[in-house]
Amino acid sequence: ASEFNAHDMSNQNTFRKVFLEDEYVDGLYAIDDILDAIQNSVDVYYSLPNASLARYAFYRTGQGFIKPMSMMIRSYDALTGRFWNITSDAPFTYQDYAGDFHENWQTFNLTLEDPLGPLQILKDAGYPEENNGFYYITDIQLVCSYHTADLGTISVLPVDWKITIAFDLSSGGEALASIITEVHPLPASGAFAQLQAGLSC
């Protein structure tokens, strides 16, 4: 409803500002810069409910643990096909592309103790020129959610905020960072009880 527009815009501005610093939006050109941006997003996710002026609450697992941020990585299966190893004295045909661009998605959980997931291994290895895992990656998406309440002019609505921070690595030497925020009303039944339980800390 329109009565919640101002509150929604304030939340969107907050998420954009804290998850994607200006230097990230301008473009990322080095592997360490991408890892720093991912680390920053993980740190923000786990600290925002305690640091923010607004009232955000974590979703929790059945065991009571904070639901971790998810990282989805899209990457090529291999870089061993003909296209990736073409030389000027060995011309190739369209058939040589077969299989060279097949991609897959993998999902990982990111915690404060393990903020980079499988990318930490690449960082520790010093990004060897041969078989550098970053050459395979075309897209990285970080996904997290909070529940809170939309404050309108005459009512209060429990809502869920889904935040996706995306790093597009398919453009070559520049990684483009963006953020998508989605707000969804929570079911009325039990929603306020869930909200109060999460915000009572």
Token pair 């101002």 is at which residue? 6
3-state secondary structure the chain: CHHHHHHHHHHHHHHHHHHCCHHHHCCECCHHHHHHHHHHHHHHHHHHHHHCCCCCEECECCCCCECCEEEEEEEECCCCCCHHHCECCECCCHHHHCCCCCEEEEEEEECCCCCCCCHHHHHHHCCCCCCCHHHCEEEEEEEEEEEEEEECCCCEEEEEEEEEEEEECCCCCCEEEEEEEEEEECCCCCHHHHHHHHHCC
Q: What is the pLDDT of residues 148-201, one digit of tens each?
A: 876 666 667 788 899 999 999 987 778 889 999 998 887 754 544 444 444 444
Q: What is the pLDDT of residues 1-57, one digit of tens each?
A: 454 566 678 888 889 989 988 888 788 988 889 999 999 999 999 999 988 877 889
Identify the sign of the CA torsion 36, 39, 135, 129: positive
Q: What pTM, to 2 d.p., does this model score?
A: 0.82
Portion of the chain with pLDDT greater than 70, in percent = 77
Q: Which of 192, 130, 138 is nearest to 166 (CA)?
A: 138
Q: Which residues contact 115 (CB under 8 A, 6 or more apart)?
A: 38, 39, 42, 43
